[in-house]
Amino acid sequence: MRYSAAAGTIEDYADGWAQFLAGHEALNHTQNGDPAKLAELLVAVSRMEQPPQSLLAGSETVAKYEALLQEKLQNLHRWRELTESTDGQW
């Protein structure tokens, strides 16, 4: 995917935008995914009577999502007592 700066880009964001572009350019065409397989998957899912509510595509995505969920679960356990301290007796 190609990104380009819009006319009138805010100068304060120019460095961040340049870093964003460089990061995406470095990753471009290095993904494990096969676009044809993704297309087949999407067609198959579109034909399902009960498609998944959420769909991840590719092993990289699954690994990243799994790590995110584990991090969120650790955070939940870490702050559970504090979070539950707001419960009342109604």
Q: 43-65: buried (b, 16+ CB within 10 Å) or exposed (e) per residue?
A: eeeeeeeeeeeeeeeeeeeeeee
One-character DSSP codes across the chain: ----PPTT--GGGHHHHHHHHHHHHHHTT--S--HHHHHHHHHHHHT-SS--SS---SHHHHHHHHHHHHHHHHHHHHHHHHHHTT----
Tell me: the pLDDT tens digits for 55-77? 999 999 999 999 999 999 999 99
Mean pLDDT along residues 35-39: 94
Mean pLDDT along residues 6-12: 74
pLDDT of residue 6: 63
Q: Is the pTM of this model over 0.85?
A: no
pLDDT of residue 14: 87
